[in-house]
A and B are shown apart, each in its own frame.
Chain A
Amino acid sequence: EVQLVQSGAEVKKPGATVKISCKVSGYTFTDYYMHWVQQAPGKGLEWMGLVDPEDGETIYAEKFQGRVTITADTSTDTAYMELSSLRSEDTAVYYCATDSSGYFDYWGQGTLVTVSS
C-alpha cells in the first residue's frame, strides 16, 4: 500500500523558514516525481514545484521561485519542502503528491503551516 506521511503542523513568525517532510512507503521512491501543492484558506490547489528523487532535479513554479527548496533523501525515502521568508499569505495546508504520468496519484495527508506574529 502506497503511503505518504507528512510532518505535523507548524506555527512560524513572519520572515522565518519552514521545512516539511513527506515520508513515502509502498513504492520505489526514485520511480516517480514528488510534487508539493499549496492550499491557502478558502482557496484552490496551487502547484509549487517538484523533485525527481532519482537525480534531485527540481522545477519550481514561478510564484515560489527563490523562496522554495524541494529536496529528496533517498536514504530515508523522504521528500522535503522548505519555504523561506514566510509571510501571512503563506498560511496554508501543504500537500506532497506522487506523479506516475503527470497526474497526482497519491497524496500526503497535508501539513498546516500558520504564519503569525
Chain B
Amino acid sequence: EITMTQSPATLSVSPGERATLSCRASQSIAGNLAWYQHKPGQAPRLLIYGASTRAPGIPDRFSGSGSGTEFTLTISSLQSEDFAVYYCQQYNNWPPYSFGQGTKLEIK
C-alpha cells in the first residue's frame, strides 16, 4: 500500500503571493498523481492529473510538477478563492487509491 505524505500541514500565504505545496509517495508512482481543492461544504474539485496536466477550466496559475516520489503543486499568485484544503492522490498502484492528509492553505 502506498502512503502519501503532504507538507506542510498548514501554509499561511498572503494574497498575490506564490504558494508551494508538496506531496511525497512512499514508493514510485511514476506520474500518476492528482491534486484536488476542497472547500468547506463543497465537493472536492480536480485541479491536476498526470502530475502536471490541468483539468478543464482550471486557471493557469495552478501548476503541478514532479514524478516518481516527489510532487509539487504551485499556485503562482494567490486569489481569495484559492484558500482551501488541497489533497494529492495516487492512482498508480491500487487498490487502495490513497490520498495525502491534506494541506490547509490559509490567508496570512
Segment of A8-16, A66-74, A84-92, A100-108 engaged in the interface with chain B = A100-108
B residues within 8 A CB of A47?
A: 95-99
B97 & A95 in contact (Cβ 8 Å cutoff): no
Q: Mark B82-99, 1 if CB is under 8 A from A, else 0.
A: 000001010110111111
B96 & A62 in contact (Cβ 8 Å cutoff): yes
Distance (Å) between the CB of B44 and the closest chain A CB? 6
Query: Does B55 lie at the interface of the complex (its beta carbon under 8 Å from any beta carbon of A)?
Result: yes
Query: Does A17 lie at the interface of the complex (its beta carbon under 8 Å from any beta carbon of B)?
Result: no
Distance (Å) between the CB of A68 and the closest chain B CB? 13
Q: How many Cβ-Cβ contacts under 8 Å join chain A to chain B?
A: 57
Q: Which chain A residues (73-117) contact chain B, with CB distance < 8 Å?
A: 95, 97, 101-110
Among B43, B49, B96, B98, the residue within 8 A (CB) of A103 is B49
B95 & A59 in contact (Cβ 8 Å cutoff): yes
Among A35, A103, A108, the residue within 8 A (CB) of B34 is A103
24 A-B contact pairs sorted by A residue (CB < 8 Å): A35-B97, A44-B87, A44-B100, A45-B89, A45-B99, A45-B102, A47-B97, A47-B98, A47-B99, A49-B95, A59-B95, A61-B95, A61-B96, A95-B43, A95-B44, A101-B49, A102-B92, A102-B97, A103-B46, A104-B36, A104-B89, A107-B45, A108-B43, A109-B42
